[in-house]
Amino acid sequence: EVLRLVPSSSTSTFFETMMLRPKVLLLLIATARALLVTVRTPMTMKKTWDKRETLADKVGLKGAGLVGTIPVRFTQGNDTLATMALQGQPLSEVAAQCGQYVKYKCKKGECGTCEVRVDGNWIRTCVSKVPYVPEGQSFDVFVRASMVKSKKSSAFFSVRSFIAGFRNNLLGMVGFFREGFKGTRYFEERMSVEQEILDKVKARKAARLAEQQSSAS
């Protein structure tokens, strides 16, 4: 079907021009392959992310810490996660240890994104550490209910991306053939000019030869 777009009178010249341009041919092949991949890609191809299993889940103890003598409890709404920690241990590490989600941004204690409440005061998780806690007591941390990890599936393919890819490939092929037709026209013009020059050179040679023959006779 593509060949019908090329005028019959310039078909051979067009393909001769294309043969002189290997980069253009490679571009056409790459565009065709990309179009085939786009068409054959299944429309339901999505990646689902699984939650990593923590060590506490493996041993069967929800929120159990590895080592430590200080009980730490993270409360968020009606949910409470408990673990054990050491004095001076980073609070961010303790939160990750028991599976408590805390949202961070700067991780320098400047933005306040990771603030949690302890003993009525707001502290920043990224720069805070577990303090000394008397035996028999726990270090209670209250996390904002709004601090929830957003659940989004990463879509590698969608209808919109299919349409955009098809449109881009189509525009690329149209532009390729448009430039090819321009190149063909310019090539024909150049060849006609070169032919005129050759004809003039032949005429001059013929006139000079005739002059020499007449002078010799």
Per mean pLDDT, which range of 20-29, 43-52, 184-193, 200-209 is the poorest?
43-52
**pLDDT tens across 59-96, in order?**
554 544 567 899 999 999 999 999 999 999 999 999 99
Helix (H, G, I), strand (E, B) or coil at 73: strand
- Tell which wins on pLDDT, 158 or 214: 214
**pLDDT tens across 118-145, in order?**
999 999 999 999 999 999 999 999 999 9
pLDDT score recorded for residue 64: 47
Dist. CA 129–CA 121, nearest whole Å = 14
Q: Is the pTM of this model over 0.75?
A: no
Task: Please choose, from the candidates 212, 217, 188, the residue with its C-alpha nearest in 3D space to the C-alpha of residue 7.
Answer: 188
